[in-house]
A and B are shown apart, each in its own frame.
Chain A
Amino acid sequence: MWETKYEKSQGLTDTKLSYCPGCAHGIVHKLVAETLVELDILDKSIAIASVGCSVFSYQFFNCDAQQAPHGRACALATGVKRVLPENIVFTYQGDGDLASIGIAETIHAANRGENITVIFINNAIYGMTGGQMAPTSLIGQKTTTSQDGRVAEVHGNPIKISEMFATIGGVAYLERVSVYDPKHVINAKKAIKKAFQYQKEKRGFTMIEVVSTCPVNWGMTPVDAMKWAKSDMEPEYPLGVFKDKGAE
């Protein structure tokens, strides 16, 4: 007798993921998809895809979706949520989309306490366009537009989104997680689930920052990339809960 121990989440479509081998996007997609199913909100969810590697996420999440212009995901999400307050609305954005071109939209959605969930993938680089410097790139990190390494005086400093957003009034839940080992994957799932639970309860703006990887543009194997996320990314972007209105 065969018994099903594990299967792909119903929260994902059968479309083949477009991500590079070893990229952590697949893990985070799975966690979000499982959450939507477990909280029984998949059929009333609207995903907002951004521009970057996750531009095709509207093909992967098994729910209704809108594809946003670069940086504007939180504006679209606001537009949808304000007219459909009983639906679940979430964005899925990378660091170029959220922390650079879309930072104004994200800050103001947070400040208004828009009842949406933002999944923010921070891998310290522009993946889709081929490895350019991101606002989140580390000091010394070599990218195609900081070829001798990022220098604070020339390129600016790594921007700390969770630290910044912790000061914003409308934020109900904000946690920075990583997925570099199973323990952290489990914790990331808990955080994502909590964020969507808060949205269900209409508590306000929720965001989960995921310290992620980009093996191809970091020039590393997937295993080394996971190690680098822990050894180099995590000290700059410490993990933890930055805001939890439910615990206050």
Chain B
Amino acid sequence: MAKVLMKGNEAIALAAIKGGVDAFYGYPITPQNEVPEYLSKHLLANGKVFLQAESEVSAINMVYGAAGAGKRVMTSSSSPGIALKQEGISYIAAAELPCVICSVMRGGPGLGSIQPSQGDYYQATRGGGNGDYQLIVYAPESIQETIDIMKDAFNIADYYRNPVMVLVDGLIGQMMESVDFDKPVKERKLPEKDWATTGTLNHPGRRNIANSLYLDPAELEQHNIDLQKKYKRIKENETKYELINFDNPEYVIVAYGTMARICRSAIQMLHEEGIEVGMIRPISLFPYPEIAFDKIPKTIKGILTCELSMGQMLDDVLIANNGRHKVGFFGRAGGMLPDPEEIVEAIKNFTERVVK
């Protein structure tokens, strides 16, 4: 397949098919509707499962059921819809079932807007579900990167028996880019799904149970310890980030997704003015690339965190920075997208954000 011009949401859907998705369960919400629309046509035509649920709550629980049955299953939604899915996400993470959740962020809080935003960083990395659990969260900056990540997402989910979230904003969902679906995916030796609830006929002598209930406190604590061990392995093996213009920067920007692309332009503009600015672009938001901060030259004047939110990833920047450098913040919210000039100005007028 040669390069094709494709809309982000449709590319997400096709990449899911390339990644081997068996079933999709979802509920309409803007700005991600082209994902289910595309899948409704192409999954059913190929004998796979597509089902529009009666709510996001139901959709994520259908995902639970199908994931528990051992199939490659996904859902997609946007901010308020992801909020409704949080209960199910916690259960899926607790029961250690693999699935892929695509989140196409829009402005919030509440009903907010349907314009692009990064206001759901907390929702993705801290979650609204109960208990100590983590999703594996990837935040690509282009449609090509979204495709590459989507194709690998099912493998990662199966490998770790953990939900993977692909987090983009409405801009990536709605724009079109020239993309290639044939880039090879990292080979992983995937464990057999011998835990799947497919009927004891398929695994005589053993009952398979998908469950998150542990009434014995010691048992539940051990379950939590085991989950943390898994998250540590994920941190060691799946942390992804990109360093940009890191030779001898005066400042370092930290930005992801659409904001990182705007910052790329700003970095070029600053370079032309003789101001060298580097960038850490986290691709995995959990695990967060704290290790990248060790590579920042001691001589920099400061770190500028840029987000399409009022400052959520900023928390992880402060943790990763651990007091080493001054940290400033630039953010727009509600669907407002900054021009690169605004980032240029923010670097020129760098001030440390007052930190609580």
Contacts and interface: CB of A to CB of B under 8 A. Distances in A.
A108 B54 contact: yes
Interface string B140-176: 0000000000000000000000000000000000000
Contacts of B57: 72, 75, 104-105
Contacts of B67: 79
A22 B76 CA distance: 46
Contacts of A64: 197-200, 207-209
B199 A63 contact: yes
Interface stretch (B58-66, B261-269, B326-334): B58-66
A69 B103 CA distance: 22
Interface string B305-327: 00000000000000000000000
Interface in A44-72: 44-46, 48, 55-56, 58, 62-69, 72
Interface of A: 13, 42-46, 48, 55-56, 58, 62-69, 72, 75-84, 87-88, 104-105, 107-108
A66 B197 contact: yes
A194 B59 CA distance: 29
Contact of B66 (A45, A83, A108): A83
25 contacts: A43-B201, A44-B201, A46-B198, A58-B211, A63-B207, A64-B207, A65-B197, A65-B208, A65-B210, A66-B197, A67-B212, A75-B59, A75-B65, A76-B62, A76-B65, A77-B65, A78-B51, A78-B58, A78-B65, A80-B65, A80-B66, A83-B23, A88-B199, A104-B54, A105-B54
Contact of B213 (A48, A55, A80, A108): A55
Interface in B182-225: 197-201, 204, 207-213
B199 A87 contact: yes
Contacts of B199: 43-46, 63-64, 84, 87-88
Contact of A69 (B23, B87, B200): B87
B200 A43 contact: yes
Interface of B: 22-23, 25, 49, 51, 53-55, 57-59, 61-69, 71, 73, 87-88, 91, 95, 197-201, 204, 207-213
B21 to A, nearest CB: 11
B58 A80 contact: no
A79 B54 contact: no
Nearest to A49: B211
A64 B210 CA distance: 9
A72 B60 CA distance: 10
A84 B199 CA distance: 10
Contacts, number: 129
B200 A42 contact: yes
B87 A83 contact: no
Given A64-B207, A83-B22, A104 B198 contact: no
A82 B88 contact: no
Nearest to A43: B201
B88 A66 contact: no
A69 B61 contact: yes
Nearest to A63: B200
Contact of B58 (A13, A88, A104): A104
A104 B56 CA distance: 12
From B23, B25, B61, B211, residue with most partner A Cβ within 10 Å: B61
